[in-house]
Amino acid sequence: MAARAVLARIRSVPEGYVTTYGDVSPGAPRFAGSVLASTGDEVPWHRVVRSDGTLAQGARQRALLEAEGIPFRRERVDMREARIPPEALRSD
């Protein structure tokens, strides 16, 4: 999967939802992480979380997600409530 497709999938995550690195880049979640590490705030990077709902970017990411109404269970995103199904992501 090309970086362009990963970014398109991330951009397709609507406000109020999250996705995982593995959903954005099936079979290569670390590739999604490296793509995000090389981009700026022009993509909603904060909507990409680890598969267990933990945050890679800590307090800054949590604040952005909470501002969008993302539910948490202690330190993790409530994935049952907030995760958008992988098939709903676009790859333009």
The verdict on residue 48 lying in a domain is yes
Q: Is residue 90 part of a domain?
A: no
Residues belonging to the chain: 92
The answer to whether position 92 is within a domain reads no
Task: Per residue of the chain (92 residues), give pLDDT as tens.
Answer: 799 999 999 999 999 999 999 999 999 999 999 999 998 778 999 999 999 999 999 999 999 999 999 999 999 999 999 999 999 998 77
Asked if 24 contacts 32 with a C-beta cutoff of 8 angstroms, the reply is yes
What is the CATH number for 13?
1.10.10.10
In a domain, 36, yes or no: yes
Residue 27 in any domain: the answer is: yes
Q: The pTM is what?
A: 0.92
Q: Where are the beta strands (DSSP E) in 1-92?
A: 19-20, 48-49, 72-73, 76-77
- How many domains are contained in the chain? 1
Does 91 fall in a domain? no
